[in-house]
A and B are shown apart, each in its own frame.
Chain A
Amino acid sequence: MAGLLDVVKFGKKDKTLETKAGITPQRPWQPPQFITCKKCERRATRNNWLKSLYVCPNCGYHQPIDGYYRLSMILDSGTFRELDEDIKSKDVLQFPGYEEKLQNQRRRTGLNEAVVSAYGKIDGHACVVCVLDSRFLMGSMGTGVGEKVTRAIEYATDKSLPLIIFSASGGARMQEGIFSLMQMAKTSAALEVFSRKGGLFISYLTHPTTGGVTASFASLGDIMLAEPEALIGFAGPRVIEQTIGEKLPEGFQRSEFQQTHGFVDKIVPRSEMRATLAQLLRLHEKNGGRRK
């Protein structure tokens, strides 16, 4: 029996990135055939959305996408190797209803946690990539996400590889209380070691990046990139409006706002994502004047 299970498990692990991302040549993604844009509310065929990498063909709205799909967009074909796939959050506080919620999310998304981490190559450059997935409990950071991100950073430190993290998160995961908060310190501490050893960290902010993720690893990139119009901030807009008692202006805390205020190097549309990452990896391949 154990032998049979091993075979099944092996088969599952052997899935290519394309199947994990749900893209097969016969059936690009899944039905329905038409998708309505959340921003401009105009419809376009799924095929057109797919061609534009899930950016609205009409208005340029960047629809949130899931982890594997994003990895399939940037990694060289056949180089994907998933890291720490089996790590899950624990119900550390025995929080009422949390375990069921986790199981629901796992069933619904096919993910164990709100982050996918992988080793792969971009335009021939080996690197470690983490992608937070906002479908899984809003991409919130509990012990599972904190542990996976920390391990990815430590792996990159060990192997002297560049690190890229795509953030998309509502912040700390409330159901894990203080343990969630401490993941902020854990991930930041791992980045400190990585940085001290000369590692390159590219932080790529996508919609939405808020709370404890903004206040830890997401803000600590050597290079800070953002997708257009992503909401990026520490406190949520609703909390700020309640605190100051006034409406926030249009565009507050969006990528463009963050760039104007000095927190983002470049706003990169999805179509240029892979090329920009390749350029940055190329620019960091040789370390200029410093002798090892």
Chain B
Amino acid sequence: MIKDILQMEEDLLRQMEELKGDERPSARLRRRQLESDRKELLATCTNLTAEDKVFLARHPKRPKIDEYINALFTDFFEQKGDRANSDDTSILGGIAMYQGMPVTVIGHRKGNTLEENMAYNFGMPEPEGYRKALRMMEQAEKFGRPIITFIDTPGAYPGKEAEEHGQGEAIARNLMVMSGLQVPVIAVVTGEGSSGGALALGVANRVLMLENAIYSVLSPEGFASILWKDASRRAEACEVMKLTAQDLYEFGVIEEVIPEPLGGAQSNREELFENVDASLKKALGELTRMSGHALVQDRYDKFRKIGQ
């Protein structure tokens, strides 16, 4: 189980931390030893099960959208609010430069601490969040900016006010408008992509997925409780749902699997961002050559053929 491996890794990292700054030869030797132990340990992280991937996709140290924005883009200007009544902080978005080109970046926002997560509602948007995203996408189309979205959510928030404000309508509207946008749209599933709450940012020309990310009709827990009335059968659900990047690539639902460093995205951020950057660059390069009309047709055809 990946969980145990990562626990052992944490142990090694802690020991390394303790030796930090100690320049005695014995300490240096020990550090080198620990580092190679860690590499060896992470090298065992192959042949991960679907359940392992669910664990990694939700790992608390997995990079969040703000890190991606810092690492991949420059000149980020955050845009807030849905222009109707509020600003949903579970969606982060704005304008930024990518490869010398202005783009609109939007994504689900999770936090690194409990406080942050409370503030961002654990990345579960209310209708206002989807309408904020929609507003930014429509504006991107107006100014001819490509749109890059980062998907990482347990789902749309199932709350009382969310229903009163039309959660279903907000998601539906996004799906419809996104499909007709005359600019390139690229979606990157970085963590967990659950249900319509994820798809509402996912009607893209290219859907890329990190190697250990998951994308599914519902969370494995929700799936087990709906289908078998038993949430404790989540391990079984993980297997039968076919929610890994590799499965979805085989199905033709996504276009590319972006490799992660050994042990998961959290274990080597530099390597991860390099990989994501390379894939984004390639996808954007292909799409910016297409006309608005061709982009809309390309997106339509992509989704039209699923389940035909």
| A-to-B contact residues, CB < 8 Å | 90, 92-93, 95-96, 142-143, 146-147, 150, 172, 174-186, 188-193, 195-196, 211-212, 214-220, 233-235, 239-240, 243-244, 248, 252-253, 257, 261-263
Q: Interface extent on B, as a size class? A: 35 or more
B172–A248 CB distance below 8 A: no
A163 CB to nearest chain B CB (Å): 14
Inter-chain CA distance A158–B13, complex, in Å, is: 63
B303–A240 CB distance below 8 A: no
A233–B163 CB distance below 8 A: yes
Inter-chain CA distance A217–B241, complex, in Å, is: 24
B199–A184 CB distance below 8 A: yes
B228, closest chain A residue (CB): A174
- Asked if B167 is at the interface (CB within 8 A of a chain A CB), the reply is yes
Residues of A within 8 A of B168 (CB): 214-215, 218-219, 233-234
26 chain-A/chain-B pairs, Cβ below 8 angstroms: A92-B307, A96-B240, A174-B217, A174-B223, A181-B195, A184-B175, A184-B196, A185-B179, A185-B202, A185-B203, A186-B303, A189-B179, A191-B176, A212-B195, A215-B175, A215-B196, A217-B172, A219-B166, A220-B176, A234-B168, A234-B171, A235-B159, A235-B163, A244-B159, A244-B160, A253-B163
B173–A220 CB distance below 8 A: yes
Inter-chain CA distance A92–B216, complex, in Å, is: 14
Residues of B within 8 A of A214 (CB): 168-169, 172
- Asked if B119 is at the interface (CB within 8 A of a chain A CB), the reply is no
B307–A174 CB distance below 8 A: no
Inter-chain CA distance A182–B200, complex, in Å, is: 11
A234–B167 CB distance below 8 A: yes
Residues of B within 8 A of A90 (CB): 307
- Asked if B158 is at the interface (CB within 8 A of a chain A CB), the reply is yes
Residues of A within 8 A of B216 (CB): 177-178, 181
Inter-chain CA distance A100–B111, complex, in Å, is: 44
A42 CB to nearest chain B CB (Å): 31
B307–A183 CB distance below 8 A: yes
Residues of A within 8 A of B241 (CB): 93, 177-178
A174–B218 CB distance below 8 A: yes
- Asked if B156 is at the interface (CB within 8 A of a chain A CB), the reply is yes
Residues of A within 8 A of B196 (CB): 172, 181, 184, 211-212, 215-216, 234
Contact among A95, A177, A243 with B243 in the assembled complex (CB-CB below 8 Å): A177
Max chain A Cβ within 10 angstroms of own Cβ: one of B162, B195, B241: B195
A189–B160 CB distance below 8 A: no
A186–B306 CB distance below 8 A: yes
B169–A189 CB distance below 8 A: no
A216–B307 CB distance below 8 A: no
Write out, one digit per residue, whether chain B residues 96-138 have a CB within 8 A of any chain A CB (1) or not (0): 0000000000000000000000000000000000000000000
B304, closest chain A residue (CB): A186
Inter-chain CA distance A193–B166, complex, in Å, is: 23
Residues of B within 8 A of A95 (CB): 240
Give residues of chain B (161-214) contacting chain A, Cβ–Cβ below 8 Å. 162-169, 171-173, 175-177, 179-180, 195-196, 199-200, 202-203
Inter-chain CA distance A257–B162, complex, in Å, is: 13
A193–B218 CB distance below 8 A: no
Contact (A240, B172) CB under 8 Å given A143-B307, A181-B217, A196-B180: no
Inter-chain CA distance A219–B169, complex, in Å, is: 5
A234–B156 CB distance below 8 A: yes
Inter-chain CA distance A178–B242, complex, in Å, is: 8
Residues of A within 8 A of B218 (CB): 172, 174
The 8 closest A-B pairs by CB, nearest first: A143-B307, A235-B158, A214-B168, A189-B179, A188-B175, A234-B168, A219-B172, A215-B171
Contact (A181, B199) CB under 8 Å given A188-B176, A234-B162: yes
B306–A179 CB distance below 8 A: yes
Inter-chain CA distance A262–B306, complex, in Å, is: 33
- Asked if B227 is at the interface (CB within 8 A of a chain A CB), the reply is yes
Inter-chain CA distance A211–B202, complex, in Å, is: 17
Contact (A178, B160) CB under 8 Å given A219-B172, A234-B168: no
Inter-chain CA distance A93–B253, complex, in Å, is: 13
Write out, one digit per residue, whether chain B residues 62-93 have a CB within 8 A of any chain A CB (1) or not (0): 00000000000000000000000000000000
